Amino acid sequence: PTLKIAQLLLSAGNLVIPQLENVSIVNNNTVPLEMNTLAYRQDMEQRLKFVDTLMNQIDAKQASRRGTDLREILTYLELVDDEHSLGNLHRAVTDEGHVRWACQEHYDEISFNDNTSRYINGFKVMGGKFDQNTKEAVVIGVNVTKRNVKMIYGALTKGFNIVKLVFQDCSFYEDYLETLLDTVINRSSILCLSMATVAVTNFFGGIKYTCKSMVVEFKNQSLKVRFNGSYHNGNIPMLNQLLLRNRIHRTWNISACDFLGHESDLERCFESNRTVTELIVEYSNNIDILNTIFTLKTNALHQLKLPQSLSIPSILSPFCELLKKNTTLVEIDLMDYTGFKEEAFVIKLLDTLREH
């Protein structure tokens, strides 16, 4: 753009030197006679107007690019933030006219501190506690009510920073649980949700199921779910609800150890998913687990990662056969620090991938 403007100004054949502050007298004899004519001045005026228009167009393009980036953010947040609060950020205009997006703490510190105290007291009233140093909220032995969920919802969606949320020996009415999970997964800064012996009740107060142990970590659009090696039937309905509520996390990280002997439950969990396109399965050394993953009918996986897996020779050849029949995977990651010792498997794997 600068080159275009310079070429345009120089095309008149002369340079226009601006008046200097410390020069009080202008020597009119230094200005060529042809530049004093009405036609020349009109021509130069038209050129300067064109330069001004060109500059406005350039500025508009730059603003458009910035606007496009902002629209992409807003479009992304439309799925989880229909109030367009831009992830609890506030719009502020600097003295220079630039737009800044600031969190509540840096936008209005007094209001932020008041709200934080109110949310902490809310946790105390419901029977929980909050550690301001670790940002961990713990609720133990509480029948979580609609009012409690509303308080948690308000805190999380207004920027209250909880890193870890723990429910232990608690009970939820199923509708309240759905609201809580939707908020935690899609509209909060929580990095870890831990549930231990959490009962879910129906409208009449009867227990539908009890989640014995489930830890969920949220990071970079990834859901890492672990049952801590202790399978229990009640964990699966809770996991199903988690996947049903999820709208932004595209990667699901699980351990095959949590589903050994219960491959049908794993398949049902996939049926609950509408967002996940990448699966990470640790310790996948069971052909039944692999068969479930590769024969899914309701979900098309695009990426598959199998860390610390395929270490049993008997499953290597069947794995290649499953991979050969797959038509949805576009990326597969099998390498880790353990590597492969079976040369025949590596050769067959490469041949399979070459034909995939």
The more confidently predicted of residues 295 and 71 is 295
d(CA 118, CA 124): 10
Are 256 and 196 part of one and the same domain? no
Are 192 and 137 part of one and the same domain? yes
pLDDT of residue 9: 52
| Domain boundary residue, one of 76, 96, 131 | 76
Distances (CA, A) of 187 to 191, 274, 324: 12, 18, 40
Instruction: Determine, yes or no, domain membership for 16.
Output: yes
Distances (CA, A) of 151 to 103, 120, 138: 20, 10, 15
d(CA 304, CA 280): 6
Q: How confident is the model at residue 328 (pLDDT cuts 50, 70, 90)?
A: confident
- Domain of residue 340 covers 250-356
Instruction: Determine, yes or no, domain membership for 257.
Output: yes
Are 275 and 327 part of one and the same domain? yes
- State how many domains the chain has: 3
Instruction: Determine, yes or no, domain membership for 172.
Output: yes
Q: Which residues contact 24 (CB under 8 A, 6 or more apart)?
A: none
Q: How confident is the model at residue 274 (pLDDT cuts 50, 70, 90)?
A: confident
Instruction: Determine, yes or no, domain membership for 321.
Output: yes
Are 200 and 154 part of one and the same domain? yes
The more confidently predicted of residues 334 and 198 is 198
Instruction: Determine, yes or no, domain membership for 52.
Output: yes
Q: Is the pLDDT of residue 17 over 50?
A: no
* pTM of this structure: 0.70
pLDDT of residue 59: 54
Best CA proximity match to 238, nearest among 219, 277, 265, 206: 265
Are 125 and 186 part of one and the same domain? yes
Are 188 and 270 part of one and the same domain? no
Q: Beta partners for 165?
A: 137, 193
Are 65 and 124 part of one and the same domain? no
| Domain boundary residue, one of 60, 76, 92 | 76
